[in-house]
Each structure stands twice: as structure tokens, then as C-alpha cells.
Amino acid sequence: MGRLAHTVAVALALFCAAPLAAQQAPQGGSTSERGSVVSPVLTIDSERIFQQSDFGQRVAAEEREKLSALEAENREIEAQLEQEERALTERRSQMSPEEFRVLADAFDAKVQETRNAQDTKLREMSAEFDRERVKFQQAAAPVFEQLMREAGAAVILERRSVFASATVVEITEEAIELLNETLGDGTAAEDR
């Protein structure tokens, strides 16, 4: 009977200890004190983070506003050039072919110069948007490091470059929330 009691006691001890060990061992589905996932590998959707963060939304709104202003300016310039072209065409019958050719060449040069200037403005706008993205990535780095520390993670991977992963290691939403708390729309950092 002693041997049976010993076997039951060992089985009971193992049965009771298993849930305790499972609670203490960090696994892919466990969470930190902040409520974030605890995992050595995390995934994010960086494009979604930028688009949905306050910082990214401010940058996108500014870009739309500047692009809209440039489009309005382009329409105004186009209307002016069309008017000049009509006036030149109307005067053509009153000029010699040589006189007209000089004015037409000057007009073509003006159109090309204007087009180049507007293209330069668009490229500068695009470069400014790219600089803002880099600024966001640099400002976001400490936030990602904090999320990694809290999760005990060694790496954060781009979700689109991962073939398959458990959704529990996806921290995009948490990253957006923490970035909004930490960076806001990014203008406070510019004021310093």
C-alpha cells in the first residue's frame, strides 16, 4: 500500500506543478505587465504604422495640401500659357514666318522652362516627404526598442517579409498607440 500512496503523491505533485510551471515559462502567447506579447520575435506592418500614426497622418495631410497647391498652380500656369499661345496664333497672320518662328521658339522655351520648374518643385516635395519618413523612422526607433524590451524580443520583423507567423506576435496596433503617446504628430520634436 505504501508504494501506491507514493505513486499517487508523485502524480498529484506533478499534476499541481504543471500549471504553475506553464504560468512562469515565457511562451509565444504570454503577455508582459504592460499587456504586450512576450516573444523573442515580433512582427509589424511598418507601412500601416506610418499611415495610421498621428505623425504619419500629419505628414500625409501636409503632402496632400502641398500637392493640391502645386496642382492649382499648374492649372493656373497652364491657363496662362494657353492664353499666350492663342494670342501668338492670332498674331501669326500679321507677321513674317521668321518673326513668328522667333516668338514661337521663345514661347516653346518658356513652356519647357516652366515645366522643368514645376517638375523640380514636385521632386523637392517628394524628397521632403522621404525626409519626413526617415525622421519618423529615427524617432520611432526608441519606441520599437521599448516594445522589444517589454516583450523580451531579440528582433522585430516586417510582417510582409515573413512567410508565416502567429498573429500573437504582431504588434502593429500596440506600436501605433505607443508612437502616438510618445511622438504625437511629430511637431513637438521640431519645436525643441
Question: Could you tell me if 178 and 53 are in contact, meaning their C-beta atoms sit under 8 angstroms apart?
Answer: no
Q: What per-residue confidence (pLDDT) applies to 35?
A: 58
pLDDT mean values, one per 10 residues, the chain (192 residues): 41 34 42 69 95 97 97 98 96 94 96 98 97 96 94 93 84 92 84 46
Q: What per-residue confidence (pLDDT) applies to 164?
A: 84
The C-alpha cell that represents 43 in the structure block: 512582427
If one counts the domains in the chain, the total is 1
pTM tops 0.75, yes or no: no
Range of the domain at 169: 2-191
Looking up residue 88, the CATH number of its domain turns out to be 3.30.910.20
Residues near 50 by Cβ (< 8 Å), separated by ≥ 6? 56, 133, 136
Q: What per-residue confidence (pLDDT) applies to 86?
A: 96
Q: What per-residue confidence (pLDDT) applies to 163?
A: 83
pLDDT tens digits for range 25-76: 344 445 555 556 899 999 999 999 999 999 999 999 999 999 999 999 999 9
